[in-house]
Structure 1
Amino acid sequence: MRFPAIAWFKGQRCNQTWLRDPRRQLSLLLLVVSMSLCGGHACPVICNCTRKAGGFLAVQCNKQGLAEVPKGLPANTTLLSLRSNHIAELHNNAFLGLAWLRELDLSDNVVETVYPGAFQGVQDSLLFLNLSGNQLQTLSKTAFQQLKASIRLDGNPLHCGCDLQEVLNSIHLDPGTKSHLTCVTSQQESVRGRPFIQAGQEMDCNMPRKTMDVAMLVTMAGWFTMVVAYVVYYVRTNQEDARRHLEYLKSLPSDQFKPAQEVDTLSTVL
């Protein structure tokens, strides 16, 4: 980005006469302060840049009819407010280059889509994210899972289901607004229009795991039944063979049942 004042400054002779001019001294001072304040980038015309206590730079672009995140924001921005605009999508790398960003206010827009890489570059620095009062129905887990920030999501027409529950359980919801999340729509009719905290307790989101457990139990029961059936069959078969063998022995002449010792004695006597 070009700074006209810098070009003008370079075009002047840096002599003592030029430096003694109060107006030029003031111009140079304003230039240095402006560059220090904006970290090498000029504040966007539609925004207001102010330095807060502690050296933080706050950039406010509220109520400007913005349809997307403005480009060329100061690199040392620590607080960015884009409240009450018309931003509908947060594209990948929307805040790339704002490595010092701590707070991001996107409340009262019409955001309905957050792309997986929307917060790329600020996922480690961001401490607070305000997305309240938008049009979010579902949330991308990949877009929010790396964020350490406390997140506000109240005032969105959330579609409650197991996917949303999984995302909400994996992010840091702002404690003060967690109870204000409402299930505007849901496939489960009983939770529609109810607070998410209550609805989440009724949604059976462990169905796949329960189904797997039941299938395993049924399989184990089937194997056990087969083993028991085989043992019973084996025992009954052996009992039937033993019974038949006993009946066969009983059908033989009685002298065939004489013990072997008795037979040997008779042979000796003879």
Structure 2
Amino acid sequence: MLLFLLFLFISPSPRLVMTSFFYGMALQRHGNRVSSINTCQQWKAVGGGLVVRCSGLRLTKVPVGLSNHTIGLFLSKNHLRCLPTASFSDLFRLEELDLSQNQLSSLEAGCFSQVASSLRYLDLSYNRLTTLDPAVFTGLQVQANLTHNPWHCDCSMQMAVPQLDLDWSSVEKVLCQTSDLPNLGAVGFPLVLLVEDWDLCESVRRTTDMVTLVTMFFWFLMLMSYLVYYIRHNQVVARRHLDYLKFLESRDPFRPR
């Protein structure tokens, strides 16, 4: 205890040292379930507001109890797998959000809805994202870092990308690991150049058109089959009636011979 107090006395940043000490205590008590703001470092920004750093805490969820004065939130190097709807409630002043080096594989629609009007920078690099739902980025106009994700370039990606102002310093590293256009050399191609040069929604429209044509063909085939059956059935019935009438005529005793 005396050594700890001596270290605090000679440390140039006693506040940060004390914060780190509480990190260790919180992690020891809660393990992977750490979600309290008390485990994060925070300090005042130069222009006002708070900057909160919760990096490397093995978090599986976004911390609760964040101040609505937070303008910067760093959640890198954690174990986040999914962002549910309204993950950042009440953070209406948030300008910078770092979610890099997590295990994110899905982003639910509305996960950024609370920060849509204020967010200016979003780091999603080094995650497990394969596609972007356009509904996730509704209302967002941010500079985004999407590098080092196993992207599957499809129609939804093409619709989502225009809503983002991609970080041009890393835009060539946002690569298509798989694609709906594998035969055109799209695999390994930069995403932004791909959506500019090719219509990724064309294959979807072509598939939809083909399904529509096939469906119409089968309906037409069924209609023709029914008509043929109806005509043949009526011919058989008519022939039976005709034969019956001939039979009656042949049995008519008043028929002149």
TM range (shorter): 0.5 to 0.7
Cα offset for 1:140? 1.1
What's the TM-score once normalised by structure 2's chain length? 0.61
How many residues matched?
A: 170
Is the Cα contact below 8 Å between 2:80 and 2:102 reproduced in 1?
A: yes
The equivalent position to 1:168 in structure 2, one of 152, 161, 164, is 161
The equivalent position to 2:186 in structure 1, one of 169, 179, 191, is 191
Q: Structure 2: which amino acid aligns with 1:191?
A: A
Match of 2:76 in 1: 83
Q: Aligned runs of 1:257-268 on 2, under 5 Å?
A: none
Is the Cα contact below 8 Å between 1:92 and 1:116 reproduced in 2?
A: yes
Q: Distance in 2 between matches of 1:161 and 1:202?
A: 13
Describe the shift of the 1:202–1:75 C-alpha distance in structure 2 as closer, same or farther (beyond 3 A).
Answer: closer
Is the Cα contact below 8 Å between 1:191 and 1:202 reproduced in 2?
A: no
Q: Distance in 1 between matches of 2:37 and 2:117?
A: 25
Match of 2:37 in 1: 44
Give deviations 1:134-187, integer Å, cap 9, x for gaps: 111011101113112211111111001222112112322222222221001113
Match of 2:87 in 1: 94
The equivalent position to 1:205 in structure 2, one of 200, 203, 212, is 200
Q: Structure 2: which amino acid aligns with 1:87?
A: L
Q: Distance in 1 between matches of 2:70 and 2:57?
A: 18
Rg larger for: 1
Is the Cα contact below 8 Å between 2:133 and 2:156 reproduced in 1?
A: no
Q: Distance in 1 between matches of 2:143 and 2:189?
A: 23
Match of 1:53 in 2: 46
The equivalent position to 1:179 in structure 2, one of 172, 185, 192, is 172
Q: Structure 2: which amino acid aligns with 1:132?
A: S
The equivalent position to 2:56 in structure 1, one of 54, 57, 63, is 63
Q: Structure 2: which amino acid aligns with 1:82?
A: L
What's the TM-score once normalised by structure 1's chain length? 0.58
Match of 2:248 in 1: none
Q: Is 2:56 the counterpart of 1:73?
A: no
Describe the shift of the 1:209–1:70 C-alpha distance in structure 2 as closer, same or farther (beyond 3 A).
Answer: closer
Q: Structure 2: which amino acid aligns with 1:170?
A: Q
Instruction: State the superposition RMSD in angstroms.
Output: 2.2
Describe the shift of the 1:156–1:66 C-alpha distance in structure 2 as closer, same or farther (beyond 3 A).
Answer: same
Match of 2:210 in 1: none
Match of 2:101 in 1: 108
Cα offset for 1:204? 3.6
Helix, strand or coil: the match of 2:195?
helix
Cα offset for 1:126? 0.7
Q: Distance in 2 between matches of 1:201 and 1:44?
A: 42
Q: Distance in 2 between matches of 1:57 and 1:136?
A: 29
The equivalent position to 1:122 in structure 2, one of 90, 115, 131, is 115
- 5+ residue gaps, structure 2: 1-35, 207-257
Q: Structure 1: which amino acid aligns with 2:186?
A: V
Q: Distance in 2 between matches of 1:149 and 1:206?
A: 24
Describe the shift of the 1:125–1:202 C-alpha distance in structure 2 as closer, same or farther (beyond 3 A).
Answer: closer
Cα offset for 1:100? 1.1
Match of 2:146 in 1: 153
